[in-house]
Structure 1
């Protein structure tokens, strides 16, 4: 067990890198940020100042770190999705333990290469499937394994993305265009396919089908008279997706957290900088005039060994934001999760039992993401490195690779309009 803090390097100082690094401010005795790399001066300087990183350990690109002698225990890789593989392999080869933002990578080949590099180097890999670390969601797996509902028969899982969240991230934002990032099921919902794969246990998925499309956010649905940007649009007040409502109104009310915090790349958000961002940046565009091409709604149907079935739905157009809903039907009972608590109905006694779990997350900026699961995720990773105990990581290399492969197979099914038989490359 380490007696000194785990030394980490942040590669990619955007929203996720900044959030995870906050753990060092809460627990300086357990984690110390000793290096940062990001091409954006403001982003890397912000991390440097927060964690008092010496000038010699601040870089505009990660390759400069990889070329040096190893000077930390672990690296947090939070670069854009399409830029995960190269740094992940390089840092694994240097012997760094690794926290890797999800998705692992945007191709099967790159995901496989990352796992191979980590395995050969003997380093720990923790992929940011943070929902596994939510105490209540983790309880679902514990109840299944304890036999609370008997044998799992069917899993029904729903992700409501949220109408303005989808407009922010997947219409105007970094994940709007597959060529620049990845497809929506991978970028947004690999969390969810991973959970389904996790709840199904050791069973292999044998076949999958999927359907989905881009709905509403298209040029033909642009209201008559609407402008190309919200700041000069004559009908902006009548649009639910107005950037003025999503960003500017929040800043005026004193809210500078997500999503406002990510739209000003060169400064902290205030009325002036947000106004400028909406006038000239991507987040001020009309949602009907963007280059988005990722699915707004998608369903995935799966069959696992032993006849266990699962159905997943992702929808952009919801009031709630990312409050997943789950029902798992078993041979002896039914388990339901409403985003807050778990309820188990026992068929024999015909009684329902509610289950909750404490979620003790420090009230600190950056650590409340995903209902506090971000905190528990980085907490587990730092503990795993400090104690040299990979069992503390709930989404390690091999299982993560398997759930990612299932995501890729589901997307292939959608694109090819076919049932995909997993693992043998065949289809119906």
Structure 2
């Protein structure tokens, strides 16, 4: 396979540190030749790491995409509401596209991106990385082998983790729905995609319930300041005290979360950034609007039903699933890498232990990049495509409409309201 070349639009945590790592690990397969990033420090640091010359460094995607096509593909890793224009422009220019999820919080933009990929016959791959995990790949294989007969019911839970929720959805870039997207889309379009994939059927009806219950001003302890470092008297008993997390919590360093606070991750720079920065806010005095718990009930066209739960109030950041069929059941813990298969007739109970990397969505990130590079370089079909990503995104938006309007949503009517 020839070396695949790419441009990167958005050199933040996902684009600049995660997906682009594939180019450093596999230089003969993949090379990033240009970057567009408004933050000068990030742009310079990324360019140095990937040996990108000055003339291929841009402040904005518009400057980069004004040029004639200079690579095989484009990685679009901007914020949620900034995907549509660079994706469409890149497709028009002739690039295959890898787009960070979610595609967009706007239904019409999502549909149009899918249509544009078809019109120009381009790969549009959305970063639904869980399909590439050893865990869900194995579950998919077990279903295809009919280990539990006909699939009837799925129960799935995403434990966001109290620390992850506070970092990303109370203090972080995805805290405010109007600035980013609803929680069920931003965080859980992964899960809608997995449920769609495992059920092997289109959605028929969907309903949802959920609220922002805890992380709001009325729950602030008496006398709590607006910022953690302004002498908070509750810091010893508060699990969300910012300095403790960013200086002591292993996940802040291991998962690179501290780099959202400051590019210079020493204690002085961290503490300075927390004094009046968004990541130093009291969790009860932020401008967050997304829910902190939500449930979704789904009926698929093939009569499979699924129940999904997302909650911020867990210690671990984990996904657990249970699949019930006519001849048995499957239980699984993604982060532990354990799948348990029970057959009704024989009564056998098989425990499958997988090798599960601790980083990158349990190894999914690099597997996804490998698949995308192979699709571009060899023209082969991958594990997902734009049509599937469009449908799972619309499932998430339909769930949010149900939650807000307190009504069951007919999925066909939601996606094609003018169809007969």
TM-score, structure 1 as length reference: 0.93
Q: Give the secondary structure class of the aligned counterpart of 2:229.
A: helix
User: Which residue number corresponds to residue 210 of structure 1?
Assistant: 208
1:398 correspondence with 2:392: no
1:327 correspondence with 2:318: no
1:315-360 Cα distance to aligned partner (Å, 9 max, x none): 0010111x1000000011101112222111111111011234445x
1:299-323 Cα distance to aligned partner (Å, 9 max, x none): 00011123211000000010111x1
| 8 A Cα contact 2:296 2:399, kept in partner | yes
| 8 A Cα contact 1:256 1:270, kept in partner | no
Superposition deviation, residue 255 in structure 1: 3.5
User: Which residue number corresponds to residue 129 of structure 2?
Assistant: 130
Unpaired segments of 5 or more residues in structure 1? 362-366
Poorly superposed stretches of 4+, deviation over 4 Å? none
Q: Of 306, 321, 333, which residue of structure 1 is paired with 2:302? A: 306
Cα separation, partners in 2 of 1:257 and 1:297, compared to 1, 3 Å: closer
1:225 correspondence with 2:223: yes
| 8 A Cα contact 1:85 1:113, kept in partner | no
Aligned ranges for residues 379-394 of structure 1 at < 5 Å? 379-389=370-380, 391=381, 393-394=382-383
> Relative to structure 2, which stretch is displaced further, 368-377 or 209-218?
368-377
Distance 1:255 1:309 in 2: 39
User: Which residue number corresponds to residue 269 of structure 1?
Assistant: 265
1:40 correspondence with 2:29: no
Distance 2:352 2:34 in 1: 41
1:317 correspondence with 2:299: no
| 8 A Cα contact 1:200 1:308, kept in partner | yes
| 8 A Cα contact 1:184 1:295, kept in partner | yes
User: Which residue number corresponds to residue 103 of structure 2?
Assistant: 104
1:417 correspondence with 2:413: no
| 8 A Cα contact 2:252 2:258, kept in partner | no
Aligned ranges for residues 10-49 of structure 1 at < 5 Å? 10-18=8-16, 19-49=18-48
Superposition deviation, residue 249 in structure 1: 2.7
Q: Of 317, 324, 343, which residue of structure 2 is paired with 1:346? A: 343
Cα separation, partners in 2 of 1:250 and 1:209, compared to 1, 3 Å: closer
1:337 correspondence with 2:332: yes
| 8 A Cα contact 1:75 1:99, kept in partner | yes
Superposition deviation, residue 399 in structure 1: 0.8
1:66 correspondence with 2:65: yes
Distance 1:377 1:294 in 2: 28
Aligned ranges for residues 119-158 of structure 1 at < 5 Å? 119-158=118-157
Unpaired segments of 5 or more residues in structure 2? none
Over aligned residues, Cα RMSD in angstroms?
1.6
1:355 correspondence with 2:346: no
Distance 1:225 1:349 in 2: 61
Q: Between Structure 1 and Structure 2, how many residues are aligned?
A: 411
| 8 A Cα contact 2:264 2:270, kept in partner | no
Distance 2:188 2:138 in 1: 20
Distance 1:117 1:138 in 2: 29
